[in-house]
Chain A
Amino acid sequence: MYTRHDPTSSRTLPPTVRIDGSKIKDIRERQGLTQLYVATAVGVTTDTISRWENRRYPSIKRENAMKLAEALEVDISEILEHEEEQAEEQAEKIGSDKAGPHPGHTASTGRRLQPLPARPWIMLGLAAGFLALGLFLLWLHGRSAGNIVISASRVLPSHSAPGTTFPVLIEVGIMPKGPVSLLVKEKLPKYITALRGNPPYSAGNGEGMLKWIFQGDVNKKLFCYVAAINNKVALGKKLAFNGTVTIRKGATVSVTIDGDAEIETAPFHWADLNRDNVIDDEEILAVYDTFSGLKAVESDLQDLEAIWSAGGYKWDAKHGKFVTLPLKEE
């Protein structure tokens, strides 16, 4: 069950509307969306989005405001300037400029403030009541989001050699199929650097954080990247990966990426599952079945095929690479 924005809320809008720049920025960042994404969805430039966000209440075309609300997946009323808030702020400002607030009244509207309850336990009771209501609403929201079933799984080799590269695959499944916005975040461990991705990732704020934003109508999506292990890391070290997938499809749901989460540094090729310095037929079949067709991995697969057809390999620790060897004659 998805919550749809009420289009009737925008029917009575004038041709130009004033939007709340800071609120738009807040919503966009909370949703994990880039200015580029929003600009593309609205059909304007990133400069325009930046201008809208940085000015307090810019006036924009009604159509653009509607597209903006749609891109941010909020009701249009949430991004419009609220006259009441503005009036209150202005009044507060005026009030503070004058002699100060009158006891028991707001400076602007003259509304009487409710007196504080005489007994603290009433306050506590009310707070507990609101908390329970909030939790109940949250639970209801979770249940409605629960109609979307997401699975996120990582395929990571069990080992790889220092100085070499290895591929990582994140498979996201979404049920039911339909228009969806995905945000995938992958935190890389120390000593690991991402080199290329398929689709291309954007580096996040923190070091070693990869991000993908995807919007489309799918029930399965693959995110792949090739990473390198620092040449100086010792053998036998276990490096842990972790990541999350956030999906917006009416409701917002976030899941942890499960599957493989650890890679060990070892003097063997990542595709050499039995660590015998030979890439055998079944090993190469497994690799091609998992990673073929992914552009980011193409050159790694060519190198691997060269090792497989040569017969064997050894790890050159000094240069952090694999050297192909002919098959041993028995």
Chain B
Amino acid sequence: MKNTIIFLAVSVCLASFMPFLAPCASAQGISARYAKIDGNHVTVEIKISAPAPKTILFTQSLPPGTTILKSAPPYSKYDKMTGTATWLLKEIRPGKRKIHFITDKPVSPGSISGVMRFRDPEKGKVMRITIAP
């Protein structure tokens, strides 16, 4: 009886932290998540395991009227019509890659999302991972 109570207490404690953990989307040994959304600073973290794809495309959707002032690495393409910025990440190696960008206005977690695309290194099929804060 005592053990059951302790188990339930620990479970409740752990479950209470869940909302604070950023959701992480993954496929074929690659996962991505928003590591930081702080006003107009946003950081996306991509975890890559072997075998790594050669190239990854990351497309960031922004709220209407929001633009990116600065980013590291620099984005490769920006589409005004759709309000999306795309990064072409080359020479991918297993490990972590981060994309950090600063917007002209603060963004809320619910207003942004991203899509990561890459080719499965073993099957050649295009994989798509959607991430949201």
Contact = CB atoms under 8 A, between A and B. Distances in A.
Interface of A: 281-282, 284-286, 288-289, 292-293, 305, 308-309, 311, 327, 329-330
Contact of A309 (B53, B54, B77): B77
B119 A289 contact: yes
Contacts of B86: 281
B55 A288 contact: yes
A289 B55 contact: yes
Contact of A327 (B55, B81, B90, B91): B81
Interface centre among B59, B77, B91, B117 (most CB of A within 10 A): B77
Contact of B57 (A281, A293, A311, A327): A281
B88 interface: yes
Contacts of A311: 79
A282 B117 CA distance: 8
A285 B77 contact: no
A285 B57 contact: yes
Nearest to B75: A309
B6 interface: no
Nearest to A286: B119
Contacts of A330: 81
A329 B84 CA distance: 15
A286 B54 CA distance: 10
B126 A288 contact: no
A285 B118 CA distance: 7
Contacts of B126: 282, 285
A95 B4 CA distance: 112
B30 to A, nearest CB: 14
Which applies to chain A's interface (DSSP): helix, strand, loop or mixed? helix
A252 to B, nearest CB: 33
A305 to B, nearest CB: 7
Nearest to B55: A288
A287 to B, nearest CB: 9
B76 interface: yes
30 contacts: A281-B59, A281-B86, A281-B117, A282-B126, A284-B57, A284-B88, A285-B55, A285-B57, A285-B117, A285-B126, A286-B119, A288-B54, A288-B55, A288-B88, A288-B90, A289-B53, A289-B55, A289-B119, A289-B124, A292-B55, A292-B91, A293-B54, A293-B91, A308-B76, A308-B77, A308-B88, A309-B76, A327-B79, A329-B81, A330-B81
A110 B113 CA distance: 97
Contacts of A285: 55, 57, 117-119, 126
Given A282-B126, A286-B119, A305-B88, A292 B79 contact: no
Interface in B96-133: 117-119, 124, 126
A329 B55 CA distance: 28
Contacts of B77: 308-309
A305 B89 CA distance: 12
Nearest to A282: B126
A116 B8 CA distance: 106
A218 to B, nearest CB: 18
Contacts of B117: 281-282, 285
Nearest to A292: B54
A289 B57 contact: no
A173 to B, nearest CB: 16
A330 B91 CA distance: 34
A311 B76 CA distance: 12
A305 B48 CA distance: 24
A150 B43 CA distance: 47
Contacts of B90: 288, 292
